[in-house]
Amino acid sequence: MIQPQQGSGLSLVWAMSENGVIGSGGTLPWSLPDDLAHFKRLTHGHPVLMGRRTWDSLWLRPLPGRLNIVLTRNPTFSADGAQVVTSLDQAFELGTTDRMFCIGGAILFDEVMHRADRLEVTLVHAEVDGDVYMPSVDWSDWALTEETLHPADDRHAYAFSFRSYERIDD
């Protein structure tokens, strides 16, 4: 029987379109306030790990109520209100006391996917143009544990689904 794996304590959280786009021109390709609220509910109180480009893309820096960890190869990079690290090992040392959320972008997701035990995916039910795509995910490693549909409405141009996954222990 398929069982979720015992936790590594790392979740990846992202929003992507049906065609895999997660970014466009250094920002998000949509405005979906209820997805941002969902992101805040999930991550509040936890360390959030992000690549330097994602840090640059945030309209509110640092994300409040969370230890913001920014990964860069630039040893002189400074980010007000965030902890800057130059290696993934340093990042995981900071985040090990708690569940940590990797919040992107594509480069980071690709590097840490193998360490994650949970995925929190917002699937935006649209095909959109963009220049940053989610790296491929081997969905056979993951069990869907929850799914909620949010319809399009006056504030949301697209419908979207919140999907939670746990890694399958094989």
Ligand X SMILES: NC(=O)c1ccc[n+]([C@@H]2O[C@H](COP(=O)([O-])OP(=O)(O)OC[C@H]3O[C@@H](n4cnc5c(N)ncnc54)[C@H](OP(=O)(O)O)[C@@H]3O)[C@@H](O)[C@H]2O)c1
| Binding residues vs ligand X (CB under 6 A) | 14-15, 22-23, 26-28, 50-54, 57, 71-74, 77, 86-88, 103-108, 111, 132
Smallest distance from the beta carbon of 2 to ligand X, in angstroms?
Answer: 27
Smallest distance from the beta carbon of 169 to ligand X, in angstroms?
Answer: 26
Smallest distance from the beta carbon of 88 to ligand X, in angstroms?
Answer: 5
Residues 62, 19: Cα–Cα separation, whole Å: 30
Residue closer to ligand X, measured from CB, 67 or 70: 70
Cα separations in angstroms, 7 against 3, 10, 125: 12, 8, 30
Place of tokens 């960890």: 69
Residue closer to ligand X, measured from CB, 15 or 67: 15
Smallest distance from the beta carbon of 131 to ligand X, in angstroms?
Answer: 7
Sign of CA dihedral 50, 46, 12, 59: negative
Residue closer to ligand X, measured from CB, 74 or 140: 74
> Cβ-closest residue to ligand X?
105
Residue closer to ligand X, measured from CB, 100 or 103: 103
DSSP string, 89-129: HHHHHHHTTS-EEE---HHHHHHHGGG-SEEEEEEESS---
C-alpha closest to that of 162 among 151, 153, 81: 151
